[in-house]
Structure formats: structure tokens, C-alpha cells
Amino acid sequence: MVDVQIERPTTSVTDDAAALVEPGVSLDRGVAALRTALATMPAGPGVYCMRDAREKPLYVGKAKSLRKRVASYVNVRTLPVRLQRMIAATAAVEVTTTEGEVEALLLESNMIKRLKPHYNILLRDDKSFPFILLRRGHQWPQIAKYRGAKSGDGDYFGPFASAGAVNLTINALQRAFPLRSCSDSVLESRTRPCLQYQIKRCTAPCVGRISKADYDGLVEEARSFLAGRSQQVQRRLTERMTAASDALEFETAAAYRDRIKALAHIQMRQGINIPAIGDADVVAIHDAAGQACVQVFFFRSGQNYGNRAFFPRHAADEPAEAILRAFIGQFYSAREAPPLVLVNRALSEAPLIAEALTLRAGRRVRVRRPLRGDKRKLVEDAERNAREALARRLGESTAQRRLLESLAEKFGLESAPGRIEVYDNSHISGTDAVGSMIVAGPEGFIKNAYRKFTIRSVAAGRAGAPDEAARGDDYAMMREVLGRRFSRLIKEDPARAGEGWPDLVLIDGGAGQLGEAQRVFADLGIADLAVAAIAKGPERNAGRERIFLPDRPPVALGAREPLLYFLQRLRDEAHRFAIGTHRARRSKARARSALDEIPGVGPRRKKALLHRFGSARGVSQAGLADLETVDGISSAVARAIHDHFRDGR
């Protein structure tokens, strides 16, 4: 047998794949390893795993007949170059037999997720999905977002595609059914209603503003709405609104009207809602330019719970059907499939996949490719979203995308942030204080989204602090800026469904500034908003920055890490914008007339005084009798102007 060396191809094999093959490794040795394994290979169903000389997994596959499937790799000349390289690196083949092909499919998906072999199609973004939990076991049940195993006592609704989709629904639910979202410890420690009560998103059971019976009624209505009985809930609310209106109880009727509008808001934001579909996932793939996007829409009780795009890792020449099959196997390996999974491509193993999902879920699961009707429209909509998401990804700058992905990994975010807001303050001993917000995204800085804030409260410091102590209080300034910014966001887009909400808030400062930001968000009822603070190192040396994250020790990045340069650019841009705004404000203040400081002298009186005396200096030197002769200046105002300049102020 001729010892054939594997040459490094220029287009068919990636550099990563080529790196798996060490110099001197040959196809013959790989084929010999396969033949050795075939000598004792069982003929039944199971899973095989190819490993290299360092026992690193190369590929995991399932087979109805292990012997026949592995034997197909021996004829290497008929295989693509990528698989030839895999065979050349193979030193051993491990097999696990199963009762049938269904069990083999389940085992294959689990092993791929666990081992992450280089030559398999891999689902890289496999984080858990959030649920809405109506928590029981307390006098006042709580509505909250939840992740993890369903071990607590309560009703779980979901999964939702993202934290944003959960926040959207919870925010609207709290307007329709004002249930508490605070923890038990916060509830028990309250002595007066919180901000949530003031903005009508809680009924303040903590201080007895609602009876137990009325609160339980709200809980039951929320449960019914989330379970898909939305029309019944809306009909009951409409009947109560009409009855209150007929009884001339217009304030009560208005409250019911607002609750009905909140429910309509949920349904409007959810877009397509098809009650007949019940519980289903819509999975659609689109591939182009050697990449693929899989879009998953979640429908529960006929309601759209959001969608998410996935970009599996795969070879450029991998067919879409194979990518979709591998995705479904890995996607549902750790989560329960709904009764119906709709796909946009015909899968040759659809019956086998459905049987495997049925076995895992403990109930019947169907996998269908609809050809007509409403279900077909859902699939087409998901495919369109996949096509658009892939186009956006291909259009992004590779370097910027890698930085954002690196940022998401370092900060523990669900995905690369699409909108980052960076905040900074600028002042001199508290005077002419301004706050700034700059925005960055995949395409760089979004300058038309920049905002500046004039710090209104000089004494915005800690409670009880004297004015002079509060002047220059960076914490108080940050509280004011964040409070104003996010209070307005809540008012404009309470469901957090628009593009204005950031995926990450970055603050120029340290642990103190981070703590203040967290308190502001807690007071506003904003949960699950990623926030971090970046502080310069000792003696404010650039390159020795530390990143402060909630509930984590500070992170120090290497002086030459690209991510550090990226964060420095964000912070420096925020600092530049804040300094520029502060300098402009100082220049404007210097140009102000001394007349602006006199109470009771507005623009019209100021104009009349300047017209009469020519300048502020002329006004300051005028006598009381002369001031009283100016149109619009009463004796009292003339006395105030006269005294202002004579008292030396």
C-alpha cells in the first residue's frame, strides 16, 4: 500500500481543520485504524466516535448498522477532501451499541453536544431559554422571569426566545394584572409602596393596598391569559368596564380600559397569533456563501413567544438538510420539544426524528413540513427571518463582530450586543455638570443616538447630605442621568420591544458607580439588563483597566487584548462627548448676562433694560428712579434689580 501524504488544500479545507493533521499522518494509517476497528465492529445500531492519536474526538455519528457505516469510510478516494483529512487523523474508533436507531439518534446528539467534535455540525449558541413563572407558596404570588430546571412550586409559561421577549410580556402583564415582581425579602421589608405602585404596575400588597381575594383574582386572570384563554379574559374585563361605566364609576371603568389596552398591546407586539396552532416550534434554515442561519419561532397556546437566530458551525459544502437535521437533534437534546415542530425543508429522517423527540418528551411529537395554509405562512415567515439575519451577519464587519462576540463571552451575555450605551459625567467641582450617553453597535458608533443631560439637581447627593457635600457627587449625577434616561424609556417603550433599549450599559467608573446603576434599575423595576463599569488602573494608567460586573470579581484584561482596546475606545468616546458638552456649557455660562441671575427678570424685561441702558453694566449703575421708568419694570422689580447690584452679588 502506498503511503499517501495529505496535502494542504487552498479552498476545500479550513486552516483549523488542516491543523488537526500532524506532519507524517497519512490516509493509509487512518484506513488501517478503521480496518482494525471493523474487525470487531458489531453489525447492529449504535454510535461511533473517531478519535485522533491524542484521543481528541474528531467525529461522532449514528448508524443503523455500525459495521456498514464505518466500512463506507474505508474507500477514501470517493470521499471529499475534508473527510479524507478526518480519516487521515483517525487513530481509533469507539462504538456504543443501542437498542435501535432512535436511541442511537438521541445518543449521537448528546455526545456531539458534550464532546464538540471538530468535523460535526455544531450548535454553538445553546443557552437555556427563560420562562415566566407565577410563583406559588406565598400569600402574594409573584410573577417573575425564570431560568433553569422547573423545580420550584408554580406555573411555568414558555419558553420565550429571549430575555427581551419575557420582559415584553411581563411589563405588559403588570399593566394588565398588577402583580408583584419583587422578591419575598423585599416584599416583607417594605413599609410604603414602591415605584412600581406609583406607575400602576403593582397593587402594593406589601402594605395592604389590595385584599387577598382581589389579588388572587388577578393571579387567576394572569394564569388564564398565559394559558391561552386571552379572549375569555378580555371579554370579562370588557363586561366589567361596561358595568362600571353604566354605574357612573368612570375611574374604575378607566382602570379596566387601561388593562384591556395592555392585553391588546401584548398581542400586537407578538405579531402573528394563530390559536389553532397550539404549542409548536417553527424551525427554518437558509444557507448562503458557505454559512447557514436557523431561525426558531416559539408558539405556545397559539401565542408568539419570540424567535431567535442560530448560526451553527459547519463545513462550507454541508447541505442544508444535514445542517437542519443536526440542529434539531442538538437543540432538543436538553429541552422538551412541543407537540408540533414545523420545518421548511424535507427531512429524509423526519419519522425517525419525530420518534426520537417523542421518546424524549414522553408524549407524541410530530415533525412536519407544511405545504399550504396558515402553517405554511408561518414557515415562510421564519425562513424570511433566517434569510435576513444571515444577510446582516454576512454584511457585518468580521473584526467588529468578533469583538462583540468576545465581549458577550467575557461579560456572560446571551449573544453579541446589538446596542451598547456608555455613560460618563463631566463637571468642575459640581458646576456646569453634564452627563453624556454614547451608543455603539455592530457598525460602530451611532452618533445620531448620542444624548446629553444637564444635571438638574445640584443637591442630588445622598439623602441628608448638605448642598456643598452633594456638589460634585458623581454617584448622584449618575443616578440622575440613568434615572431620567430609563424612566423615559419605560414610558416610551415599556415592553422593551423597540430598538431604543440597550443590550449592554457600560459606565465609566468602578464598583461604586456600578452599584448606583444597579440600584437605579432595581428602583425602576428593570431586570436582566446587562451592566458593567470600566475603571482605570492605579494612577489612572490606561492599559491597567478593571471591569466590574454584578456579582463577579473584577476582570482585568491583558494590555494587548483587542477587547481592551475596544472598551477603551468606547469609554474614551463617551469621555470626549462629555468633555465637549461640558465645555460648551461653560462657554455659554460665561457669555450669560448678569441680568439672568436676578429673580423676576425674564427675556422681555431683560431686553427692555438693555435697550434703555445699553448693557448690563449700564443697568448696574442705574439709579432706582431710572429703573422704575423702564417699560414693564414695576417698583418691586426695580428695587430687586437695584438691591441685586448694590449687595455685591
- Would the pLDDT of 608 be above 60? yes
pLDDT at position 198: 87
Q: Within 10 Å of residue 339's Cβ, how many Cβ atoms?
A: 15
Rounded CA gap, 486 and 110, in Å? 42
C-alpha dist (Å) from residue 251 to 255, 256, 275? 6, 9, 33
Phi, psi (deg, nearest 5) at residue 231: -65, -40
Cell of 533: 463599569
Mean of pLDDT values over 536-563: 77
HSE-up of residue 303 (Cα within 13 Å, Cβ side): 26
Q: Best-predicted range by mean pLDDT among 62-71, 481-490, 510-519, 633-642?
A: 62-71
Residue 151: pLDDT band (50, 70, 90) is confident
- Would the pLDDT of 337 be above 70? yes
Residue 259: pLDDT band (50, 70, 90) is confident
**Sequence spans of domains, the chain:** 15-115, 131-269, 276-395, 407-589, 594-646
Residues 432 and 456 sit within 8 Å (Cβ to Cβ):
no
Mean of pLDDT values over 572-588: 76
pLDDT at position 266: 67
Matching CATH number, 594-646, of 1.10.357.10, 1.10.150.20, 3.20.20.70, 1.10.3720.10? 1.10.150.20
- Which comes out higher in pLDDT, residue 515 or 394? 515
Mean of pLDDT values over 124-145: 85
Taking the CA atoms of 516, 520, 526 and 531 in sequence, report the sign of the dihedral they define. negative
For residue 477, which of 439, 446, 508 has the smallest C-alpha distance?
508
- 145-159, 332-346, 573-587: segment of lowest average pLDDT: 573-587
DSSP secondary structure letters along 33-79 = HHHHHHTT--SSSEEEEEE-TT--EEEEEEESSHHHHHHTTT-GGGS
Q: What is the pLDDT of residues 352-399, one digit of tens each?
A: 999 999 999 999 999 999 999 889 999 999 999 999 988 877 766 567
pLDDT at position 431: 62
Q: Which CATH superfamily is domain 276-395 in?
A: UvrC, RNAse H endonuclease domain (3.30.420.340)
As beta bridge partners, residue 405 has: none
- Which comes out higher in pLDDT, residue 598 or 214? 214
Q: Best-predicted range by mean pLDDT among 302-306, 351-355, 540-544?
A: 351-355
Give 342's DSSP letter. Answer: E
pLDDT at position 278: 83
Beta pairing, strands 420-428 & 451-454: unpaired
pLDDT > 70 in the chain, percent: 86
Residue 274: pLDDT band (50, 70, 90) is low
pLDDT at position 267: 64
Q: Compute and round to an integer the Cα radius of gyration of the chain.
A: 33
pLDDT at position 395: 67
Query: 407-589 and 594-646: same fold?
Result: no
For residue 258, which of 210, 201, 198 has the smallest C-alpha distance?
201
pLDDT at position 624: 86
pLDDT at position 537: 66
Taking the CA atoms of 523, 529, 530 and 534 in sequence, report the sign of the dihedral they define. negative
Mean pLDDT over the full length of the chain = 83
- Would the pLDDT of 9 be above 50? no
Give 540's DSSP letter. Answer: G
- Would the pLDDT of 23 be above 50? no
- Would the pLDDT of 529 be above 70? yes
Q: What is the pLDDT of residues 435-484, one digit of tens each?
A: 889 999 887 888 888 998 888 765 444 433 434 334 447 888 889 999 99
Mean of pLDDT values over 565-584: 83
- Would the pLDDT of 19 be above 70? no
The CATH fold assigned to 407-589 is: Nucleotidyltransferase; domain 5 (3.30.420)
Residues 366 and 339 sit within 8 Å (Cβ to Cβ):
yes
- Would the pLDDT of 572 be above 80? yes
Residues 503 and 530 sit within 8 Å (Cβ to Cβ):
yes
Rounded CA gap, 239 and 244, in Å? 9
For residue 130, which of 549, 532, 551, 528 has the smallest C-alpha distance?
528
pLDDT at position 25: 60
Residue 49: pLDDT band (50, 70, 90) is very high
pLDDT at position 589: 55
Phi, psi (deg, nearest 5) at residue 581: -65, -40
Q: Which CATH superfamily is domain 15-115 in?
A: GIY-YIG endonuclease (3.40.1440.10)
- Would the pLDDT of 32 be above 90? yes
Rounded CA gap, 42 and 31, in Å? 18
As beta bridge partners, residue 297 has: 282, 307
Mean of pLDDT values over 610-629: 81
Q: What is the pLDDT of residues 97-121, one digit of tens each?
A: 999 999 999 999 999 999 999 999 9
pTM of the model: 0.60
